[in-house]
Amino acid sequence: MNEIHPAVTKIPRTHENAFFIASSIGMALLVFVGFARTFFLRPWFPDVGYAVASEAIFYIHGALFSAWMILLVAQTSLIRIGRVRFHRRMGIFGAILATSMVVIGIFGSVVAARRPDGFSDMRVPPLQWLAIPFFDMVFFGLFVGLAIAMRRNSQSHKRLMLIATINIIDAAVIRLPLSIILNGPFIMMYLLADVFIVFLIFWDLYSIRRLHPVTLWAGLVTVISQPLRFWIFDTEPWIAFANWTVNILG
């Protein structure tokens, strides 16, 4: 498939590369700050208010998700320096990594839901909160899968990878030491993550003078699904499904 709009060629390639590199670095920094006290810099925060997971699976989970953020920055940087062939080779590793993240992410969520006290420092019953990481993984896997399928369309591919990652950074956002997060409604974790979708919208309007179809539809699906996740986790069908999942996979 060819590039979707000739207007994109009017924007210097260096500007386009800079935007996607900056977005990936911004998300990586957000993840680092969000998990600094409970994972990356844990020894320096012995009195942190958040409970720290002791199960081994969460160290694997942290390593996989950290590797994804590093890979995202590396892949955008490889395009910046013209190493397209190596970028494509690394894409194979990325596909395997993303699959592992979905499996470990869902399984780790089930492990947390089975704890007597549920998810760390969450004010929601564990079977209900399980909907949040579960749907994060579903949408992450969906958009990464679409990105792989559309890998020959660079404009669609890079946007799908960006939006896929936006769907998993809420776990870092909710751990930011900010009053608006700690004391505000849970939806704030999504609203702050969605700032990256807003940046992508502005980039599209600047670079191609309209919204790219991926930005429009993947961004819209992501934003609309977020409040729906909080509605779903209160429904009886979800509680029944969550209970079944915990009993089967746990």
Q: Which residue has the higher pLDDT, 117 or 37?
A: 37
The pLDDT-based confidence of 122 (bands split at 50, 70, 90) is confident
CA neighbor of 93 nearest in space, from 105, 77, 75, 76: 75
CA angle 167, 122, 131 (to 5 degrees): 45
In the numeric block, the tokens 């470990």 are attached to 104
Instruction: State the maximum Cα–Cα separation within the chain, in Å, rounded to a whole number.
Output: 57
CA separation, residue 137 to residues 63, 134, 208 (Å): 16, 5, 30
Task: List pLDDT tens digits, range 191-225.
Answer: 999 999 999 999 999 999 999 999 999 999 999 99
Q: What pLDDT shows up at residue 64?
A: 96
Query: How is the chain split into domains, by residue range?
Result: 8-249
d(CA 70, CA 64): 10
Does the pLDDT of residue 50 top 80, yes or no?
no
Q: What pLDDT shows up at residue 210?
A: 95
Does the pLDDT of residue 5 top 50, yes or no?
no
The pTM (predicted TM-score) of the whole model is: 0.90
The pLDDT-based confidence of 42 (bands split at 50, 70, 90) is confident
CA neighbor of 101 nearest in space, from 67, 124, 131, 127: 67
pLDDT over 90 percentage in the chain = 69
Half-sphere exposure of 60 (CA within 13 A, CB side): 14
